[in-house]
Every structure is written in C-alpha cells, then in structure tokens.
C-alpha cells in the first residue's frame, strides 16, 4: 500500500478518531484528487470528521496533484506552497487548504 493510500485509509481516520475536536477546528470539506491513486473526500464539518473514497458533491476545497507530489507534502508539509508555484499542486480554495495543517 502506498503512503498516499495509507494516509487516507489508516493515518487520517485514526487521527480524527483519537482527536475528535480537530474536525470542528477546520469545519471544511476537502476533495483530494491524486492522479494514478484515486480520490477521497474528507468531511470535517460533522462530528469527529470522516474520510471516504470517491467524490463529494460539494467540497469547500479541491486539491489535485500526483502521488509523488502528495507524498512530498506528507514528508514535508511546508513544501506545499512551493509545489503550488511550480504548478505541481492545484488548490481551489487556499484559505481552506491552509487549515489542513491542523490535521496533518
């Protein structure tokens, strides 16, 4: 299993379960489109939050990148801004995306 898949299937659900207050601090729905791996949506608007495969009908922010780019962000979250300027990461709502640092 790739680091990306493991992030969405293991790490993030466990973190949200262990820290149910995190979702309320973010209060956004994120759609992640990771090329060659898949898509997930992270709903941080209700309860402790949830992570589900597939598309969400109305996300607040959509994040699109390659698997290599996403894994670079996992290893070095501060690299996201540089990757955006290089065109390797697309974010539809930068303000919402900045709140993701609370869950990484």
The per-residue pLDDT for range 82-104, each reduced to its tens digit, is 999 999 999 999 999 999 888 87
Which of 33, 45, 48, 27 minimizes the C-alpha distance to 89?
33
End-to-end CA gap in the chain: 19
Query: What pLDDT shows up at residue 84?
Result: 96
Question: Model-level pTM?
Answer: 0.94
What CATH number does residue 12 fall under? 3.30.1050.10
Which of 72, 87, 2 minimizes the C-alpha distance to 36?
2
Count of the separate structural domains present in the chain: 1
Provide the domain limits for residue 14.
3-102
40-91 pLDDT, tens digit per residue, is: 999 999 999 999 999 999 999 999 999 999 999 999 988 999 999 999 999 9
Radius of gyration from C-alpha coordinates of the chain: 13
Q: What are phi and psi of 9, to 5 degrees?
A: -95, -25
């Amino acid at each position: 299993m790739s680091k990306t898949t493991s992030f969405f299937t293991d790490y993030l659900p466990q973190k949200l379960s262990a820290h149910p207050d995190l979702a309320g601090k973010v209060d956004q729905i994120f759609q992640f489109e990771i090329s060659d791996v898949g898509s997930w949506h992270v709903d941080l608007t209700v309860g402790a939050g949830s992570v589900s495969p597939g598309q969400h009908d109305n996300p607040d922010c959509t994040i699109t990148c390659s698997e290599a780019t996403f894994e670079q962000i996992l290893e070095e979250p501060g690299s996201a801004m540089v990757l955006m300027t290089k065109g390797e990461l697309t974010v539809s709502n930068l303000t919402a995306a900045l709140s993701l640092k609370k869950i990484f």
